[in-house]
């Protein structure tokens, strides 16, 4: 097929929920890919943090191919080796105790919310159901996770929502305290607000919230959908803050390109779900778990240190650009605010020149594959800086 044929079919038959760029991927290897005209691109997006090992990683391809040739699916009424191994690795690397598998970040957050409500209501009664989330957060696009999301613009046209969410200002401990009541079951937050603009929480705020949760037996829920699986230079970003949440949600980079979500339970919540409380037909899919095990095996301390090094290399180079107002983020999760030019204009211009980047509100968002080579990093940086400078001179 040609690109024109693909585009015509898509625009005719696919629901218009995405403002697609004028691009279709034909194939890729590592952090480099090619369109249907043979043009080459450096990928600084990793499919919004999903392709943690880049395109067509040989070990990942071998593992998922072998699993597909063995069996693709069996119901969760039975045990499987790939799922059991993925759960073991997730717990060992995070300090959590149990895992529930779904298919996406939104599904993981739904599971986290259900578990928090069950824990609180079983212990304190039906009136303890509220969950405090942070203004500017993003937790998914289902009705309940949209309700949890602290962005008013996400709420337009979709009410009525699942009740029981209260919003507090990020990095404002007093505002959070003012929202706590006898109804509060949990506080839910991202350590770095990704879609909200790649904004890390203050360490002091996180410490105080953690202590507040411990004091009042309020569950601490951490959404690691975008920040997890090595993205920030830590296995999970909460480890940078030296805390241990009660429940963690995970997805995106976990499957290395295949859909998988996970809810991780800590000591206090490990036995919250009983048989029949929750489920997911495709959860713990053997092929997705085979891919996840390759990703998890790769995330050694040395690998994570290299993610931190490459993230610093990116920020050190970008901060020298005269058209950069500010840089935020952790590891290889970076937001860049331009002084001149909009993020949408810069993203479009980068694509024209062979670099795939993302927006996060008014910022340009960078989420390169964790395995990106220094040569690919430098090639992409050259394009990015050129576009920023052109926008500054316009």
pLDDT higher than 90, residue 68: yes
In the predicted model, what is the mean pLDDT of the chain?
97
Per-residue pLDDT reduced to its tens digit, 217-265:
999 999 999 999 999 999 999 999 999 999 999 999 999 999 999 999 9
Specify the pTM. Answer: 0.97
Listing DSSP states for 77-102 in one string gives: TS--HHHHHHHHHHHHHHS--EEEEE
Task: Report the sign of the C-alpha dihedral through residues 199, 202, 207, 213, in that order.
Answer: negative
| 25 C-beta neighbours (distance < 10 Å), count | 14
Per-residue pLDDT reduced to its tens digit, 378-392:
999 999 999 999 999
Cβ-based neighbours of 118, under 8 Å, separated by 6 or more? 272, 273, 277
- Determine the average pLDDT of the residues in 90-105: 98
Helix (H/G/I), strand (E/B), else coil: 57: coil
pLDDT on residue 394: 85
- Determine the average pLDDT of the residues in 161-171: 97
């Amino acid at each position: 097929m040609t690109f024109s044929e693909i585009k015509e079919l898509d625009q005719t038959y696919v629901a218009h929920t995405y403002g697609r760029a004028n691009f279709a991927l034909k194939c890729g290897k590592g952090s480099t890919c090619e369109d249907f005209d043979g043009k080459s691109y450096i990928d600084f997006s990793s499919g919004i943090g999903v392709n943690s090992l880049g395109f067509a990683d040989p070990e990942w391809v071998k593992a998922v191919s072998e699993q597909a040739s063995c069996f693709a699916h069996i119901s969760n009424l039975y045990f499987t080796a790939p799922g059991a191994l993925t759960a073991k690795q997730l717990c060992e690397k995070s300090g959590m105790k149990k895992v529930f598998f779904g298919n996406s970040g939104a599904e993981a957050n739904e599971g986290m919310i259900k578990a928090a409500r069950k824990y609180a209501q079983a212990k304190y009664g039906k009136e303890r159901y509220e969950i405090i989330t942070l203004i500017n957060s993003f937790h998914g696009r289902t009705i309940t996770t949209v309700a949890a999301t602290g962005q008013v613009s996400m709420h337009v046209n979709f009410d009525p929502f699942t009740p029981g969410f209260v919003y507090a200002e990020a990095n404002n401990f007093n505002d959070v305290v003012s929202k706590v009541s006898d109804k509060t079951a949990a506080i839910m937050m991202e350590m770095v607000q990704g879609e909200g603009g790649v904004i890390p929480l203050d360490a002091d705020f996180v410490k105080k919230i953690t202590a507040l949760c411990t004091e009042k037996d309020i569950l601490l829920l951490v959404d690691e959908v975008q920040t997890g699986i090595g993205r920030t230079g830590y296995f999970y970003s909460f480890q940078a803050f030296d805390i241990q949440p009660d429940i963690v949600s995970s997805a995106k980079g976990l499957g290395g390109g295949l859909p998988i979500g996970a809810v991780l339970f800590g000591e206090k919540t490990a036995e919250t779900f009983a048989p029949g409380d929750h489920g997911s037909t495709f959860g713990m899919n053997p092929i997705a778990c085979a891919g996840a095990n390759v990703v998890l095996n790769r995330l050694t301390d040395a690998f994570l240190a290299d993610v931190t090094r490459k993230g610093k290399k990116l920020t050190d180079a970008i901060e020298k650009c005269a058209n950069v107002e500010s840089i935020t983020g952790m590891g290889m999760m970076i937001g860049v605010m331009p002084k001149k030019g909009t993020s949408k204009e810069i993203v479009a211009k980068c694509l024209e020149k062979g670099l795939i980047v993302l927006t996060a509100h008014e910022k340009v968002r960078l989420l390169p594959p964790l395995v990106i080579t220094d040569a690919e990093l430098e090639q992409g940086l050259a394009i990015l800086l050129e576009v920023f400078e052109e926008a500054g001179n316009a």
